[in-house]
Structure 1
């Protein structure tokens, strides 16, 4: 194979586009786990719900940009209800209780979607404005994949600004280290955790909408995504947002180049990367000890 600079550069950009979806999924999962210490097995289901909400809204409005706003709000609202009435009563009972709850909830959500939309799946075409390809200096590249990279960058920037530059972010960071400090200061910790769970599920829903034109929409689409999300979380380090970003992009690039040389090993490469990471960095790239205790 002639490995020209153009070919390598195009595969790199392809990997970054694929990694953008992984980053959004991984960040949503890491946000909930890192701050609430909840292993959310329903995260893939929220990804799937986001795609279906996008299908429904797009069919009614024909406006993809409206979907970009409405889908995160809708999935985030569902996440708020789940945290308030299902997850919150399990705080303090050990990590196994919310794990089992969200595991069962994922199957309930899939069955509800099957009853409402059917089992055949739905088609979600790339928005007309984002169809086609553009010359990026190293060759032609799909506009929609460049759009994915841009949207992910904007979401990460907004998340960083909220966490690092606002009073709410200060409260979140303090609560992640010691929730008792917030209680002493008279801050309602339950409202903070509620907001974090809602944001995490909203990001998962947005990722589902953005992935729909590339992956299609089906009730089972959240299952492989959940596996990918946990691989990214483990590689990056449990609960580390920076680790989720780095791992998501790394997994995307590794799978892109593996697809170029050995397409049949593309999925295997993701797990191989996780195994190698755990051998040399048992806590992940940016993980910290004691988070699970």
Structure 2
């Protein structure tokens, strides 16, 4: 029983990482109806920037601040310079454009840091363990859950209790109506896109000491992010949290019961949710 409890706790931590990756994608889909296959790139860059800053002699804490800010600026610039030109095009063109961007980013990562993964050390202050009953759990993973929970609360307050959040929610319903109210929708969408990229970069920073940074992590993150969005419901913040934890727990527990099918079971859960609730757990019409 202890091993399953350990895996459930481990899955919650993994699920919170999935939530951070997926929530920006969910918000962007809800506001713009834009299919962004380059979203995993922000997660990838967050991890690699963390590795680079630590390699230069900087601390993990400096990387945790600098990497998301750099990625946010990059996301803002990318949206303004390239992606805005695809908003009115069919989704197939958005998919091709964003896939092209992520492939360029992956090749650039391979050229700069090599094709193999690069490890990032856990900060010394978080290198211990926490006793949970009869077993011990890494302190850093507890830290990840705590940080993700704080960010989830902060994001919920931003989206539900601020003017910016009200405009984002209104824009997801009718961008034309928001324009008629005198709001600069272009700036709103750019800031929302940058926010999503920054959150995904935070997930990359947090995951770097756990799994390191490697070129393939972008595609892995993107696949899981879409699963979380589908299960939770497009544009649903709370749905992203619930779905992220559900996917993390299923994947973690199944890695003990049936390691070869752990990834498969994630998609089985997604299929069952789609059959029972096509809009997702907390999706809207």
1: distance between equivalents of 2:210 and 2:156?
27
Picking from 2, 7, 12, the partner of 1:16 is: 12
The 5 A counterparts of 1:77-156 are 77-137=73-133, 139-156=135-152
Partner of 1:265: 261
Structure 2 residue 235 is the aligned partner of structure 1 residue 239: yes
User: Greater CA deviation, 196-205 or 62-71?
Assistant: 62-71
SS of 2:137 mapped into structure 1: strand
Pairwise CA distance, 1:268: 1.3
Partner of 1:45: 41
TM-score w.r.t. length of structure 2: 0.95
Structure 2 residue 200 is the aligned partner of structure 1 residue 201: no
Contact 1:79 1:198 in 2 (8 A): yes
Contact 2:68 2:199 in 1 (8 A): yes
Contact 1:46 1:205 in 2 (8 A): yes
Pairwise CA distance, 1:198: 0.1
Partner of 1:218: 214
SS of 1:123 mapped into structure 2: coil
Structure 2 residue 158 is the aligned partner of structure 1 residue 162: yes
Pairwise CA distance, 1:11: 2.4
Structure 2 residue 225 is the aligned partner of structure 1 residue 229: yes
Partner of 2:246: 250
Partner of 1:60: 56
Pairwise CA distance, 1:116: 1.7
Pairwise CA distance, 1:238: 2.2
Contact 1:42 1:102 in 2 (8 A): yes
Contact 2:156 2:237 in 1 (8 A): no
CA 138–169 in structure 1, closer or farther in 2 if over 3 Å, else same: farther
Q: List runs of 5+ in structure 2 lacking aligned partners.
A: none
Structure 2 residue 65 is the aligned partner of structure 1 residue 69: yes
CA RMSD of aligned residues (A): 1.5
2: distance between equivalents of 1:181 and 1:194?
18
SS of 1:134 mapped into structure 2: strand
SS of 1:285 mapped into structure 2: coil
Q: List runs of 5+ in structure 1 lacking aligned partners.
A: none
2: distance between equivalents of 1:261 and 1:175?
44
Contact 2:119 2:211 in 1 (8 A): no
2: distance between equivalents of 1:278 and 1:167?
33
2: distance between equivalents of 1:283 and 1:165?
25
Contact 1:235 1:285 in 2 (8 A): yes
Could you list the per-position Cα deviations for residues 20-66 of structure 1 after superposition, in whole angstroms to 9, with x for gaps in the alignment?
11111111211211111111101112111111111111222431111
Partner of 1:190: 186
Pairwise CA distance, 1:285: 1.0
Contact 2:34 2:87 in 1 (8 A): no
SS of 1:39 mapped into structure 2: coil
Picking from 25, 28, 31, the partner of 1:29 is: 25
User: Greater CA deviation, 259-268 or 247-256?
Assistant: 259-268
Contact 2:19 2:241 in 1 (8 A): yes
Could you list the per-position Cα deviations for residues 115-172 of structure 1 after superposition, in whole angstroms to 9, with x for gaps in the alignment?
2222223111111111121113463111111111001111111111111111111211
2: distance between equivalents of 1:242 and 1:95?
26
